DNA sequence: AAATATTGTTAGACTAGTCTAACTTATTAT
DNA sequence: ATAATAAGTTAGACTAGTCTAACAATATTT
């Protein structure tokens, strides 16, 4: 069985190599940065994970997950997102509070617990941030997602997810009056810089293109 | 903040010094035994916990919890019992399955999580084994508890807790047709050895005095 | 009270995970 | 194509938690 630390490395590699489109490899420094450790530390762990045949990696080369490693990583992501859903839906946690606690809960080992939790939550498809929850087989059906930046002027849409899950971004989102399932209307778009004027619950705000690109809508 | 290991030592000391009536101290070997480590290991940790002023302990002397250590221990017991209640009541875990998973969940650090979980469970007083759940202030109101062995012949009672929480005992309990809240009628008692004939859901069984002493009833 | 048994302690070693500091390889820019 | 920069690696050290083996103190038995 893996240690929590090993699990964290696999999860980080998963998000690093599968979140950004087309990317399938990561580097030592990059990995160390997201895990808040020094490159030397990450390097040691990479050797260990290679030894266990969970990643493929050669000295001075790029890192990628092997099938067994990816499977374990997906399992951890699944647990993380199910716990986030539990905290949000059953325990009244807010959007930006769930992540930190789920970081701990994702390391609880008990297949039965996750099965039962998923059932209790009635087999949710998306977590509170709108990210896909892998099913028990490790499959993630990726919905095609559109960002607010792509929506034509005049149209109304519903917020289903955010791309950036940092607490600072989430707090900004809340500040603009947005939450999951909020209705958003695009009032105007500046062709100069792509910034938008939007309307949420009758309240108008002006947001940058970058902001709009971080909001997934349907 | 304490490590999981430190938390486990405090919890073990708590159960060792407060579960048995009148006992307020423990020894190194005894502690090591319940934690499944060698006495040498426990000895190292005792020095560390003493350093942190969580226990009182002198070389070759007995061990007892100091106020700060006891408070932390109670907090862990509280978390353990709330999680057991959650697993049993919400996730359909059985009586004998909850403990193992709760051993992991009790180490999640988040005051808000425990507050909300307690509220979600509607402030339960007893866990699935009938043990008292300490409240947020760390108070445990100990109910006076009667065992089945003390019940007069002819009386009917309800099972609220068991003294021995070992999986083997719990499985035996289930075998006799008993569960939490089961109604039990004492049909006969042998004055020779204190053994009882009991009736549960119309089904009669004969049980030893020792068995009956491990069942708390109201 | 001496012998024996139990209980507790110490010293030294090991693993996992981390660090710093020095070094090597690869990439980029002039 | 060489110098500068970035990325990656190694060696050695540290902490936490564990072990074994040897030793010391305390308790028990005869």
Percent of chain A with pLDDT over 70: 99
CATH number of B4-65: 1.10.10.10
Distance CA A200, CA A153 (A): 14
* Residue-wise pLDDT tens digits, B97-147: 999 999 999 999 999 999 999 999 999 999 998 899 999 999 988 777 778
| pLDDT tens-digit series, residues B12-24 | 999 999 987 778 8
Q: Where in the sequence of chain B do the CATH 1.10.10.10 domains occur?
A: 4-65
Of A105, A109, A116, nearest to B108 by CB-CB distance is: A105
Q: Cβ B112–A97 below 8 Å, yes or no? A: yes
- Rounded to whole angstroms, how far apart are CA atoms A37 and A31? 9
Q: Which of B110, B120, B122 to mutate: most A Cβ within 10 Å?
A: B110
Percent of chain B with pLDDT over 90: 58
Closest CA to B140 of B180, B81, B215: B81
Interface of B with A in 149-208 (CB under 8 A): none
What are the b/e assignments for A106-126, b being 16+ CB within 10 Å? Answer: bbbebeebbebbbebbeebeb
Task: Tell me the pLDDT band of A69, cut-offs 50, 70 and 90.
Answer: very high
Domain B146-217: CATH superfamily, name plus number: Ferrous iron transport protein A (FeoA) (2.30.30.90)
Q: Tell which of A1, A89, A106, A113 to mutate to test the B interface (max B CBs under 10 Å).
A: A113
The 10s digit of each residue's pLDDT in A5-25 is 999 999 999 999 998 777 889
What's residue A76's pLDDT? 98
- Check residue A79 and give its pLDDT: 98
pLDDT category of residue A4 using cuts at 50, 70 and 90: very high
Nucleotide D16 C1' to residue B3 CA (A): 9
pLDDT single digits (tens) A90-142: 999 998 899 999 999 999 999 999 999 999 999 999 999 889 999 999 998 87
pLDDT at A2: 95
First CA to last CA across chain B, in angstroms? 40
Of A101, A104, A120, the CB nearest to B91: A120
A168 token code pair:
């600072």
Q: Which residue has the higher pLDDT, B123 or A161?
A: B123
**Which residues on chain A are in Cβ contact (under 8 Å) with B110?**
100-101, 104
Q: Mark yes or no for CB contact A87/B117 under 8 Å.
A: no
Cβ within 8 Å, pair A112-B97: yes
What stretch(es) of chain B map to CATH 2.30.30.90?
Answer: 146-217
In this prediction, residues B75-97 reach a mean pLDDT of: 96
Q: What is the ipTM of this complex?
A: 0.79
């Amino acid at each position: 069985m893996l240690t929590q630390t090993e699990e964290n490395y696999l999860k980080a590699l998963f998000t690093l190599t599968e979140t950004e489109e087309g990317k399938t490899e990561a580097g030592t420094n990059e990995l160390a940065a997201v895990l808040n450790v020094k490159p030397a530390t990450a390097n040691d762990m990479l050797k260990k994970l290679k030894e266990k045949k969970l990643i493929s990696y050669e000295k001075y080369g790029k890192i990628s997950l092997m099938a067994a490693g990816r499977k374990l990583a997906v399992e951890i992501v699944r647990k993380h997102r199910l716990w986030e859903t539990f905290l949000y839906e059953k325990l009244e946690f807010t959007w930006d509070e769930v992540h930190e606690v789920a970081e701990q809960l994702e390391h609880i080992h008990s297949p039965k617990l996750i099965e039962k939790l998923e059932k209790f939550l009635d087999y949710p498809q998306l977590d509170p941030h709108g990210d896909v929850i892998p099913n028990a087989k490790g499959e993630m059906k990726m919905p095609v997602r559109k960002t607010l930046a792509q929506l034509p002027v005049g149209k109304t849409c519903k917020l289903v997810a955010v791309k950036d899950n940092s607490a600072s971004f989430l707090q900004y989102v809340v500040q603009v009056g947005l939450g999951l399932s909020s209705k958003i209307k695009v009032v105007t778009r500046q062709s100069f810089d792509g910034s938008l004027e939007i309307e949420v619950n009758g309240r108008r705000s002006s947001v940058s293109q970058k902001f709009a690109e971080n909001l997934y809508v349907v």
